[in-house]
Structure formats: C-alpha cells, structure tokens
Amino acid sequence: MRASAPAAVLRLDLTDFRCYAALRLDVPAAPVALVGPNGAGKTNLLEAISFLAPGKGMRRARIHDPERTGGTGPWAVSAEIRSFGDTVRVGTGRGEGDKRVVRVDGKPQRGQAELARRLSVVWLTPEMDRLFAEGAGARRRFLDRLVYGFDSEHAGQVAAYDHSLRERARLLAEGNGDAAWLGALEESLARHGVAIAIARAQTVARLDRAARANVGPFPTPALTLTGEIERLCAEMPALALEERARDILAANRRTDAENGTTAFGPHRGDLAARWAEKDAPASRLSTGEQKALLVSLILAYARELAAERGAPPVLLLDEIAAHLDPARRAHLFDELAALGAQFWATGADEDAFAPLAGRAHMLRVEAGGVVPA
C-alpha cells in the first residue's frame, strides 16, 4: 500500500531551543540536506524533530538540557506534520513541574504515546556507529523506536512498565513489605512486560526477514532477540507467561532488594546482530562495518513500514557521510527517495549531498541561522 502523500515535517517552529531563540522553517515533503560548519546548529534541528517521537530525543536529554542559554522561557518545539493523509500540528516542550508536555492541534495529551500514533521518527547519529558494541540499553531504546512504527501502543506499554519498575525498586530499597502493593506492581510488570517482549520479538522477526531480501552494497544483518522473558515468549502463550512472570518477580523480591536491581523482565533483553554474509557478530566489526549494517537495518525498516502503513518513517541522518563510501551513500539516498521518505541529513561538506541534486531541499546553517544553500 502506498500513502496518498508521504509522511513529512512541513513546518518546524523552535522557541529557546539550544542555539535558537526563535526559528520558523518551512520545507517541502522531500529530503532536506543541512550543510554548514561544525557547531552551527545542524544537529540541534534534528534533535528538535526527534522530540516529535516518544522519549528523550536523540541526545537522551534531561528536561532542562535543550533550553537556550540566556533564554527567556522554557524550550518548545512545534511542527506541522503530514502523516497518513492528515495534516496536524504537534507541539512539545518543558511544562509546569518540569514535565514534558505534548499537544496535538492545541489539545493537551496525557502522555507521549500519542506522538507514536502520529509519526514514526528514527535517527542515526555518529554516537550510534558502535551501537552493537556498547551497552544493551541503547539497543533496546533503538529497537523500541522501530516497534513504535508498527505498534503505536508500544510507547504506552514501555512508559507503564518503566513506572512500575521504578516503584517496585523503590519499595524494595525502602524495605517496604506491603505484599499487596508489591503484588499490584508485579502484576503490572508482568502484563506490560510480556506485551513489550512480544512486540519486540515480532518486530525483530519481521525485520530479520525483510533484511534478508536486501539488495545493493550494504551487508545483510541477521537479527535475534535475547533474554529470559524473550525465550519464554517462544515457549508459552501470553497469559501463561504473565502468570509465570508474576511468580518469578515475587520469588525474586529478596535477591532483587539485595542487589538493587530487577533481574527478570524485558529491561534485561538485548538485540543481537550478525553480518550474515560473513557470519560475524556485529560487536566484532569495524566502526564502518557496524554503521553499514545499521543502515541496512534502517532501510529494511523503511521498506517494511511503507508496506505496512503506507508511508516510511521520517529519518534523521546526522553526519551520515562519515564511514559511508560514495557508493553506499548514493544507494541510501536513492532507496529512501524511491520510497518517498522525507529524511533530514546533516554534513559539513556540501559535496557529500551531490547525489541529491535536484531532489533535496538544500539549506545552509550558520551561527544559529538557516538560509537556502
């Protein structure tokens, strides 16, 4: 299925965000290339768009971090987006009580889950070039962003699970032996945890199949999901697994309290990848090879999302030219353009975007200002 119009950010408004006191940017539903010197504010624009997805944005920012030094108020990001045939206004920023607020067409939302229902946003940054060689937490967050595209309710499941996880850990650390309270939290952890594990497993299986149909100069990733609850997902139905999870959590209370952690649940899972042609684990690949494998996975995701929902995600490609040779860079641009994807790419060298000549909206970013390139 093809969407009647590609998903896109059509207008971006920033207030006291990073280096921007105020900015309004109107762009077409087409690739956008942001060129300019390091430190000019290119990545800040991508970060602003990343806040149109659930979570802390591409920099994992604390609520105050994006605020402009010397600014007059809390930071805010507002955008006009087109997705699945509708055009809506989405806004987010720091609200009262230092909580992140979300509005859709001016109406306050109860949480960030509504963002996942409106738009799928995925990013690649230089910090992710060794995603498969570093901590599992970053891989889980990356995977969850991919799940959001297929299952918009996943964001709510993750938020509810994280809340219950923190509350149970707090009670155990305080020595609170209220069995009923702990039982209620463990019921929540079991219910949401099983839903999270199943959604992740389904997404990994789907992307593994899609990636194996890869053509072009990128390597083929072979994907697996590891972890105890993930293994049990393949062995028993969801309701039985929820009961098993409750039992495990209750049995683990003492050791979890002693260790200061929760030993069982999807927060312990991991995404593993191998270079299929070489049968080599991604963790042992060079930085350039890991980036190529990651790009291949993103392309598979874009193809699958276009087939599933009629529109590929909006992609944020920060310094995408680094570690990609010209042939791979051109193939990436060509495939995304063929899918109708809007992607925002940054780079200091305008020549890196030569394959996009005539197809991209070129902008130059200098000292917190944005002008046509």
DSSP calls for 38-60:
TTSSHHHHHHHHHTTSSSSTTTT
Counting Cα atoms < 13 Å in the Cβ hemisphere of 45 gives 35
Query: For residues 217 and 168, what is the distance between their CA atoms, to the nearest angstrom?
Result: 48
Contact (Cβ atoms closer than 8 angstroms) between residue 81 and residue 7: yes
Please report the pLDDT score of residue 373 as a whole number.
Answer: 86
Task: Give the tens place of pLDDT for each residue, 66-80.
Answer: 999 998 889 999 999
Band the pLDDT of 309: cuts 50, 70, 90: confident
CA distance readout (Å), 37 to 15, 34, 119, 190, 349:
22, 10, 30, 49, 8
Band the pLDDT of 155: cuts 50, 70, 90: very high
Please report the pLDDT score of residue 73 as a whole number.
Answer: 84
| Joined tokens for residue 278 | 């070489």
Please report the pLDDT score of residue 256 as a whole number.
Answer: 97
> Over 50: is that where the pLDDT of 1 sits?
no
Please report the pLDDT score of residue 4 as a whole number.
Answer: 52
Please report the pLDDT score of residue 106 as a whole number.
Answer: 95
Cα–Cα nearest to 319, from 20, 34, 14: 34
Q: Pairing relation of β-strands 221-226 and 270-275? A: antiparallel
Q: Which CATH class is domain 1-120+313-373?
A: alpha beta
Provide the total of helices (H) and of strands (E) in the chain, helices listed first. 10, 15
Please report the pLDDT score of residue 320 as a whole number.
Answer: 93
Give how far the C-alpha of residue 134 lies from the chain's centroid of Cα atoms, to the nearest Å: 17
Question: Cα angle vertex 102, ends 97, 107, to 5°?
Answer: 110
Band the pLDDT of 151: cuts 50, 70, 90: very high
Q: Considering Cα of 90, then 94, then 100, then 101, what sign does the dihedral take?
A: negative
The CATH code of the domain at 136-290 is 1.20.1050.90
Please report the pLDDT score of residue 91 as a whole number.
Answer: 97
Query: For residues 12 and 158, what is the distance between their CA atoms, to the nearest angstrom?
Result: 27
Averaged pLDDT score across all residues of the chain: 94
| 20 φ, ψ (degrees, to nearest 5) | -105, 115
Q: Percentage of the chain with pLDDT > 90?
A: 89
For residues 194-208, give the mean pLDDT: 97
Domain boundaries, the chain: 1-120+313-373, 136-290
Query: For residues 97 and 244, what is the distance between their CA atoms, to the nearest angstrom?
Result: 38
User: 10 Å Cβ neighbour count for 246?
Assistant: 18
Band the pLDDT of 213: cuts 50, 70, 90: confident
Per-position b or e across 73-96, b if 16+ CB within 10 A of its CB: ebbbbbbebbbeeeeeebbbbbee
Position of tokens 């994006």? Answer: 66
Contact (Cβ atoms closer than 8 angstroms) between residue 149 and residue 313: yes
Please report the pLDDT score of residue 103 as a whole number.
Answer: 97
Please report the pLDDT score of residue 246 as a whole number.
Answer: 98
Q: What is the pTM of this model?
A: 0.94
Question: Cα angle vertex 59, ends 58, 61, to 5°?
Answer: 115
Q: Which residues pair with 272 in a beta bridge?
A: 224
Query: For residues 69 and 61, what is the distance between their CA atoms, to the nearest angstrom?
Result: 15
- The shares of helix, strand and coil residues in the chain, as percent rounded to the nearest 5, are 45, 20, 30
